Each structure stands twice: as C-alpha cells, then as structure tokens.
Structure 1
C-alpha cells in the first residue's frame, strides 16, 4: 500500500483503462467506469485497489483478498474470490508494474529532494559546465568544469559530477553519488552513494613493494541502466569499463576495471566482478556471486547465489556452487554429500558432536 506522503497518487484509472494498459480483457458484465485509486498487496488491498498474483505461495492470500481488481495468471484465475474482478494475463507482474508506473510515477526513480527545478541555492556549477534546459541541481551538489548534463536530469543533493563527465537526458543521479571519467547515456538511474569512475585496483607487485599503475580508461554507461545504492564501478586501466544498455545492478555491487557488462544483464546485490571479465548479453548473477578476473560468462547464462566462478561459463548455461559448475552436477554432488553424512551419522549411532 502506497504512503501518500512519500508516493502521491498521480491519477486514478478506471477498470477499462487498467484492462487496456495491462492487455488483459475485462470480464463481461464488469463496469468499465469503476475506478482504481490505489495498489496494494493481496492481503492489504481494498475495494478501490489493484493487486496481482502469480505465485503458488500466495494462493490463500488470493482467496481472502478484498481487492477490487486483481491481475492474475491463467492458472490461478479460478481462485479469485467473487467480490474481486480478475484480469487474466500471461504476465501479471509485468502488467502490475505498468499500472503502478501510471499511478505512482514518482516512485520510478529518485527525484529532487527539494522538489524544485533548476540550479538551487547552495549548489555549485562550474562556469564552464554545460547544462541543457530543465536540469535540476539540488543544494550541496557539485558539477565540475567542462561537465555536460542533458535535459530532464536530476542531480541530487551532495552528488559530485567530475570534470568533463557527460550525462545524458532524463537521468537521476542519487544523493551522495560521485562520478568521474565517465560517459553516461539517457534515462540512467544511479541510486544514492553510487561511485563511478574511481581508480581500478591496479598495482605492479614486487618483493620491494607495490607500484600503483595509473588507470587511464573511462566508464561507459549506456542507456536505461540502473545501478543500486553504494555500488562501485571502477574506470578502465588501459581500456574502458562498459555497462551495456538496459542492465540492472543491485545495491553493493563491485565491478572492477576493464570489465565489459553486456546488454540487459541482471546483477544482484553483493556481487564482486574482478577486472577484465566480460558478461555477454542477458546474463544473470545471483546475490554474492564472485567472479575471478579475465573470465567470460556467455550470453543468457545464469549463476546461482553465492557461487564462486573461476573459469569461463558457456552461453545459456546454468551454474552454481563453489567452485561454480553446471547446476545439475552441483545438485547431484550436494545430494550425494548429504547422503554420505547421513550414512556416517547412522553408522556412528548419531553420537558425533
């Protein structure tokens, strides 16, 4: 349930509009003019709310919901209670997201903390920086010399945009973020505390000490990328670090220098990717996955949470474990280990402690 003081309702929608947006047919006999004025989880939804359901774990919640409208997959359509209108969709979560975007557009990306446009008092914008119309710079933010920022972009309080950085249009740069040596596309979202373009971890090691290697590359972030709070992306050493179009990166992720992340990848929280590794398009890395350097993860591959990847992964593969291996092998090894432990415990009479 949305809290209006944080996420005000932008508009209400009638049932006909919800059906059109979701692509799901409105059942016969339902009044298309009836209105939706909110969205909520199944167990909290009321008669004026829209909800969704596409997970067997929530069958009981669906049966007891008081939602006026519920987006539901075909396999659960028969479980929708009589007082709730079912909109049957093959992708109810996706449809629900479209409805939320219409009802609560301010929740899509960080906005100005102060709700204003233009350069606020207390912000610093260097005289040589170039800002298009409708750029917002909040108090305490810094825009360095030669930086360029596109129309519709919001630079939140205490963000620092370094010299010569380029940021495209309709971006959101969260509070306390720092960006240097970077080119950023359009509609990019950086949540608070993101660090872009700092030194990669590069040292020429020797018994006499470790010599710092200058990192002279950039970070290239393509359109429609989203990066979660307190994630860090190092600039390249001798070539660019690249984050491909549409990729979504969770909080607390570390991406090392020279890495190339493909288009529409999903990288979940606390992942660490060592330098010069490549993720091809549509790769998914579960939480706390660790990748060694100079590896390639093929297009569409998926790696289970907490896996340690020490070698290349082929296209479309499913890997897991430590060290990571094909998921089926990992599952078999885990089952066998469990059986061996149980057998040993039985032989010893269960007295081990």
Structure 2
C-alpha cells in the first residue's frame, strides 16, 4: 500500500499547508466517506459545510477557503483544487496491467506491419498489412487494427477496440475498451427498384494528438475524405460521431451525445450528455450545448444553447419560467 506524509504530498502540489497532521495518507476519497487516513478535496465553497463531519485527515482546498482544518487535520491550499486533486490521484494510481511478453505469441502481426521500439501488444491482437505502430504504444489484448493504419507514439488502445483500414491516430491518445474507429458512416438512399441503396463510405478517420475516446464510442469514417478529431479532444463513453464530422482542438463530448454527418465543431466546444447535433451544422469556438439539447442550426462562437430544439440559454430559461408559471396558474 502506498503511503505519503502531508509534506510529501505538498512537495508535488506546491501549495500552502494550513494546520498539521501526523497521520500517513493511504488513499484519496470523497469528503463524506473518507477515513482518518485518507485525503479529500474541497473544490467549491458550498462543500465546506461537509468538512466538520468528515474523517479525512487532509483536504486539498482552494485558496479562498473560509474554515479551519481542526485538530490533527490539515488543508493544502492551492489555486485550483480540482486540478491539484488530479495530481494526488496520479500519486496513488495502481500500476497498469502487466505484459509478461512485449508481444504476446498469440498476436497476429502481418509481416509488412511496422512495430517500433517499446511497443507492447497483448494476446489475441490482429495488426494488418502496412500498419505502423509508434514507439512505446500499448495495445491491450483482443484489439483489431486493420490495413494501412497509423498509430502514433505513446498511445494506449484498450481491449476490444477495432480500428478499421486507413485510419490514423496521433501521439499520446487513449482509446478505451470496445471503441470503434472507422466503421462505415450511415449512408443510404432510396431506390424505387432496390429499396434502400447503401452509399459507399470510402474515406477514413484522422485523430490528432492527446485525444481520449471512451468505451463503446464510435467515430465513423468519411463518405469521402476524412472524419477529423482535433488535438486534445476528450470523448466520453457511448458517443456517436458521424461521417465527415470535424472537431477542432480541445472539444469535449459527454456520454450519449451524438453528431450526425458533416457536423463541424470549432475549438473548445462542449457538448453535454445526450445532446444531439443535426447534420451539416456548424458550432463556433467555445460554444456550449447543454445536456439533452437538440441543435438544428448553426451556433455562433461562445453561445450557450439549451432545450429541444435548442435556443440560446437565456431564452430557454425564460421559456421554462413562463411554462412553470402557466402550470402553476392552471392548478389554482
């Protein structure tokens, strides 16, 4: 079990210690359920009220904290408690699964594939012709990477993932279990004689550096050209990204959200959980789409959209307030 003193943790956080404790810290935990050997955090002043009943011996807190830690307890004051707590979690993180062999003997690797130094490939993987895997990347068991793909350096691909032909991933990406990169886009057209005719999807997917894609998410290949995920994007579990969509840098998509085909997101766009975006829609830099919203038209940079169909947040809140008053009046 890992154990750290208050001072050892603060060497990493470089904060200001308020109070003191001689208790060694064994784990991070939520404020309400932490034991007296665990560290927690207070990232918002509204949670200060829970500290009095918490057994945690240390809390990472923002600099504007207005309470005292108490006897044999301590605070580590930092500029951003949420970011600091991520550093604490790294300290206590268990090691990743172990590879007894860098390349498992049951992995099938085409003779034309290029596997660079430090790569680890687990049992049951398939690496197709002309595929290149960059230095120090880790491919966990039962991953399929088909022909002519490129995987950058220091990328981690978890079990069950399928990366179809001609797709390209950058450096330092994380692809979580059972994600699918490069499946066919959803393209069909009615034909009076044949019913629905499938439109071939001959493009690919290009994923930038430092991208994370959650479990069971799907990024469809382009009908032509590429579906593009920009550097630093973070995609949650169960997200659908349609063919020929293009995400700028540092976009966030929460779970169960989806983009139809040919959607364009600017830099820093945030899509809330279960939100849906109509095809051929453009969403400007820094815009936010609230959870459960349905966007049917272009969104200007910096706007926040709510509702179904989505409208600007201030208009949505006004509409909801009016509806609430109407409901209340009808009950009188």
Q: What is the match of residue 67 of structure 2?
A: 78
Q: What is the match of residue 53 of structure 1?
A: 42
Alpha carbons of structure 1 residues 115 and 66: separation in structure 2 relative to 1, 3 Å: farther
Pair 1:135 & 2:119 matched: yes
For the 8 Å contact 1:65–1:81, the answer to whether it is kept is no
Pair 1:240 & 2:226 matched: yes
CA distance in 2, matches of 1:30, 1:342: 53
Question: 5+ unaligned residues in a row in structure 2: which ranges?
Answer: none
1:164 corresponds, among 148, 151, 162, to 148
2:7 corresponds, among 16, 41, 56, to 16
Pairing of 1:321-336 with structure 2 (within 5 A):
321-336=307-322
Deviations 1:72-129 (A, max 9, x none): 12343415333321111231011010121122164xxxx44x5434111222111111
* Two-structure CA RMSD over aligned residues (Å): 2.0
Pair 1:144 & 2:128 matched: yes
Pairing of 1:27-106 with structure 2 (within 5 A):
27=18, 30=20, 35-56=24-45, 58-78=47-67, 80-104=69-93, 106=95
1:317 corresponds, among 303, 314, 318, to 303
CA distance in 1, matches of 2:268, 2:100: 37
Alpha carbons of structure 1 residues 79 and 283: separation in structure 2 relative to 1, 3 Å: farther
TM-score by length of 1: 0.88
Q: Answer with 128-137 or 33-42: which moved more.
A: 33-42
For the 8 Å contact 1:129–1:148, the answer to whether it is kept is yes
Instruction: Give, in angstroms, the shift of residue 232 of structure 1.
Output: 0.3
Pair 1:187 & 2:178 matched: no
Pair 1:262 & 2:248 matched: yes
Pair 1:338 & 2:327 matched: no
Determine helix, strand or coil for the equivalent of 1:233. Answer: strand
Instruction: Give, in angstroms, the shift of residue 60 of structure 1.
Output: 3.9
Determine helix, strand or coil for the equivalent of 2:16. Answer: coil
Alpha carbons of structure 1 residues 222 and 117: separation in structure 2 relative to 1, 3 Å: farther
CA distance in 1, matches of 2:6, 2:185: 52
Q: What is the match of residue 274 of structure 2?
A: 288
Determine helix, strand or coil for the equivalent of 2:168. Answer: strand
For the 8 Å contact 2:99–2:122, the answer to whether it is kept is no
Instruction: Give, in angstroms, the shift of residue 205 of structure 1.
Output: 2.9
CA distance in 2, matches of 1:243, 1:12: 39
For the 8 Å contact 2:162–2:179, the answer to whether it is kept is yes
Q: What is the match of residue 299 of structure 1?
A: 285
CA distance in 2, matches of 1:244, 1:320: 25
For the 8 Å contact 1:64–1:81, the answer to whether it is kept is no
Instruction: Give, in angstroms, the shift of residue 12 of structure 1.
Output: 4.0
Question: 5+ unaligned residues in a row in structure 1: which ranges?
Answer: 1-8, 347-353
For the 8 Å contact 1:77–1:86, the answer to whether it is kept is no
2:215 corresponds, among 219, 223, 229, to 229
CA distance in 2, matches of 1:40, 1:30: 19
TM-score by length of 2: 0.93
Deviations 1:202-247 (A, max 9, x none): 2233333332222121111111111110000001111211111111
Determine helix, strand or coil for the equivalent of 1:331. Answer: helix
Q: What is the match of residue 273 of structure 1?
A: 259
For the 8 Å contact 1:66–1:84, the answer to whether it is kept is no
Pair 1:119 & 2:75 matched: no
Pair 1:26 & 2:17 matched: yes
Determine helix, strand or coil for the equivalent of 1:61. Answer: helix
